[in-house]
Amino acid sequence: ASRLIRKYTELGMLSRQRVTPVPGPSWVFPTRAAVEALTGRAARAWLPTPKMAGHTRAVLELRLVLVGLDLDRWISERSMRAEQAPTKAGVDRPHIHDGRYLTNAGEWWAVEVELTRKNLAAARSALAASVQAARHGGCAGLAFYCRSDAVKSVTREAAASLDLSEGPRVVLRDFDEVLSSSAPRPGLRVIEGGASDHEIPQVTDPNEGKAG
């Protein structure tokens, strides 16, 4: 791992900054140039924060439970965001789910991971926007994976205040129960390709990776 980190840092694919957004080892993360070269999409420089790191990890854990490493059965938030047309100044961007996955029955379901409690007004607004986005995306259902009784309680209250009789089915599931009752995670596998397949400019700017 250390050799790979040094290699890809020297190639400009990984930021030279080392941060610890959550307790444990420091994180390595891609540079803006690497993200743009590997995805073919515009990106901004970024820096992992505790809140973002915790949520990103939770979504990844859930994804592994739902579809494993099947790349054809999961649509990431990043992919959905890239498909959105540019919004005009003063116009809110349409809601984007934390992910969408294809069930064994062949249905697309939208996914929301809720780790912290919102107030009721914010929860109601977020749920309504999520339902609308699921309907617009042709999803058969929308699943809220919630952590803690407080999060589940306010989500249920928000759902009860909305008319959900039409459109995608909306369900609430316990995030930790889903993870604990799942089969063991699949082993990692190597995806063919690497730094040699992409022209990535060398990054020497010491501020690379900082949000801005």
Q: What is the pTM of this model?
A: 0.76
CA distance 102 to 110: 9
Extended beta strands in 52-178, E state: 74-76, 99-102, 108-114, 141-146, 169-174
Q: The domain containing residue 204 runs over which residues?
A: 1-49+189-212
Predicted pLDDT of residue 211: 44
Q: Tell me the average pLDDT across 38-44.
A: 84
Q: Does 146 reside within a domain? A: yes
- Tokens 């020297």 sit at which residue? 10
Two tokens at 8?
A: 């890809």
Degrees to nearest 5, angle at CA 135 with 161 and 116: 55
Within 13 Å, how many C-alpha atoms sit on residue 1's CB side? 4
pLDDT higher at 182 or 151 = 151
Coil, strand or helix at 74: strand
Distance (Å, rounded) from C-alpha 4 to C-alpha 27?
13
**Rounded distance between C-alpha atoms, residue 138 and residue 149, angstroms:** 30
152 within domain boundaries: yes
* 88 shares its domain with 181: yes
**55 lies in some domain:** no
Q: Choose between 194 and 176: higher pLDDT.
A: 176
Q: Distance between CA atoms of 37 and 14, rounded to whole angstroms?
A: 12
Q: Are residues 195 and 156 in the same domain?
A: no
Residue 197 has pLDDT above 70, yes or no: no
Q: For residues 159 and 207, what is the distance between their CA atoms, to the nearest angstrom? A: 44
Q: Are residues 86 and 169 in the same domain?
A: yes
Buried b / exposed e over 94-129, threshold 16 CB at 10 Å, is: ebbbbbbbbeeeeebbbbbbbeebbeeeebbebbbe
**Residues contacting residue 140 through CB under 8 Å, at least 6 positions apart:** 103, 107, 108, 109, 168, 169
The pLDDT, as a whole number, for residue 17 is: 92
- Number of domains within the chain: 2
Residues 41 and 133 in one domain: no
Residues 95 and 143 in one domain: yes
Give the pLDDT confidence of 124-179 residue by residue, as tens digits.
999 999 999 999 999 999 999 999 999 999 999 999 999 988 889 999 999 999 99
pLDDT level of residue 191 (50, 70, 90 thresholds):
low
Task: Establish if 80 belongs to a structural domain.
Answer: yes
